[in-house]
Structure 1
Amino acid sequence: MTVARFLIGSSLKMYFGRERMAHWAAEVADICRSHPATTGGVVQPFVIPSLVAIDDVHGLVADAGVLVGAQDMYWEDAGAFTGEVSPGELVDHGVRLVEIGHAERRALFGETDESVARKVDAAWRHGLVPVLCLGEVERGGAQEAVAECVAQLEASLRAAVEAGRGGDLVLAYEPVWAIGAPEPAGVEHIREVCGALREHLAGVAPVADGRVIYGGSAGPGLLPRIADAVDGMFLGRFAHDPEAFRTILDEAITCEKES
């Protein structure tokens, strides 16, 4: 997937219209073209725009080394599935990553363990890298969170295991209670959960290259406090300002020098 120390990017959900999306992507691309974190291989940046913006964004960021993802997909390759997009179509449009199983998809659109598992399998079938969202619903202890996330991971890989399929995987640990909150989860909680997930992922047979990134109100100032326990960050609204993205790249350089 990438040899960079950190995988850092943002899902832009449904916040931006076409003009703002293009402006944001162009600014982030300009930052990534010259920033030592990206030119030096410390950070692999990515962006996950809305589906209708993928072509526009890909054209703006591809030459800056920014990977483009999709926020969702269907698991079938073709057919009478009105309103859906197939994994093959995403590949044709330059997509490398696909976000799967976000808490909002589960809460608002009926996503289940079964549909998540079928999507992970379909992503691997087409050479896409799933960004698999995991996280406990209720705030509690780190060990309880780890147990819930591991159970979600096992359920999410079931279809691929049955098909004898595997590939690269990004786990986005996003405690549901922290999504959209004023502050991220506590530093020690993040460190303990993500560290345990990294250890667990190393022994999961279908996963070739596994990464664990933290999301859930992640923004500037967090990476230096959790860098040794994560492989990157999944940014939300705090990345809507491209300068915040630059700040996090600055922090990644500092973290790399101190490691």
Structure 2
Amino acid sequence: MLTPAITIGVSLKMYFGHAEATTWFGRVADAVRTHRGIASGAVRLIVIPTYLQVLPALETFAASPVLVGAQDVAAADSGACTGEVSAAELAEVGVSFAEIGHAERRSMFGETDEIVATKASAALRNGLTPLLCVGETSNLTAADATAATVAQMEAGLAGAPDGAVIVAYEPVWAIGAAEPAPREHIARVCTGLLAALGTLPGRSGSAVIYGGSAGPGLLTGLGDAVDGLFLGRFAHDVDALVDVLDEASALAERRSGARA
């Protein structure tokens, strides 16, 4: 189930202050304005800032194909939910994606698969595409990691309305590490996730991307095993981000040639 576009996601987490993030948005917008892959739609770039940074991100990227996501979403659509932001409001202002179930949300805020599933449902029923994060907490064999993450993905989508999703495979032990997980491991787990996604009804157009210390050269090395990458601090360097976008364009062109 390979989507036509290669997806590159960037989560800013809470690294940037407001002014710093706004400057970064402008630099990214300038860098991708004439980027062939972005302009053609062969590469899909998703920027996921903090809630306070969402509106300036939407304003900066309004004239470009760059899409904006949120780092979390409430399970409820409205009501007495102090401190929460609903998928309905995010969709209203122009957000397209909602990051759900990141390892930090699970470990720091106790989010279970059941909570993740309610948030995935909220995103889908309000027109947002969930970017569902899955990943084993300890360094398992590829077979065991595949079994664990497929189960996590299925639990996180249990009861959710039909719609495409992006599954971000982020082995927890590789997040923030000096190097990503070994390529063979990533390829086997992502291939297993793609196969499992293909068996789920109502998930046409879904994708699997890899995160966890992802950087240059990784996408090229993984080839058809993934539909893209989920970047963190590496993308703070806009030139480095463009290097990955160039890789994504080359991969998209190769896939397009293979289908021709």
Question: Normalized against structure 1, the TM-score is what?
Answer: 0.95
Q: Which residue pairs with 1:151 in the alignment?
A: 151
1:201 aligns with 2:197: yes
Q: Which residue pairs with 2:51 in the alignment?
A: 51
- After the TM superposition, which of the residue ranges 31-40 and 66-75 deviates more from structure 2? 31-40
Distance 2:207 2:181 in 1: 19
CA RMSD, 1 decimal: 1.4
Q: Which residue pairs with 2:252 in the alignment?
A: 256
Question: Normalized against structure 2, the TM-score is what?
Answer: 0.94
Q: CA deviation at 1:127?
A: 1.0
Q: Which residue pairs with 1:210 in the alignment?
A: 206
**Which blocks of at least 5 consecutive residues in structure 2 are unaligned?**
256-260
Q: Which residue pairs with 1:239 in the alignment?
A: 235
1:185 aligns with 2:175: no
Query: SS of 1:34's equivalent?
Result: coil
Instruction: Kindly indicate whether the alpha-carbon contact (under 8 Å) linking 2:170 and 2:211 is maintained by their aligned counterparts in 1.
Output: yes
**Which blocks of at least 5 consecutive residues in structure 1 are unaligned?**
none
Deviations 1:68-110 (A, max 9, x none): 0000011111111110011111011210000000000000011
Instruction: Kindly indicate whether the alpha-carbon contact (under 8 Å) linking 1:3 and 1:41 is maintained by their aligned counterparts in 2.
Output: no
Deviations 1:145-174 (A, max 9, x none): 1100111112112232xxxx2111000000
Distance 1:118 1:133 in 2: 14
Q: Which residue pairs with 1:29 in the alignment?
A: 29
Instruction: Kindly indicate whether the alpha-carbon contact (under 8 Å) linking 1:54 and 1:93 is maintained by their aligned counterparts in 2.
Output: no
Query: SS of 1:213's equivalent?
Result: strand
State the 4+ residue runs in structure 1 displaced beyond 3 angstroms.
Answer: 256-259
Deviations 1:19-49 (A, max 9, x none): 1101111111112210111112220111000
Aligned residues: 254
Instruction: Kindly indicate whether the alpha-carbon contact (under 8 Å) linking 1:30 and 1:64 is maintained by their aligned counterparts in 2.
Output: no
Q: Which residue pairs with 2:258 in the alignment?
A: none
Instruction: Kindly indicate whether the alpha-carbon contact (under 8 Å) linking 1:220 and 1:238 is maintained by their aligned counterparts in 2.
Output: no
Query: SS of 1:84's equivalent?
Result: coil
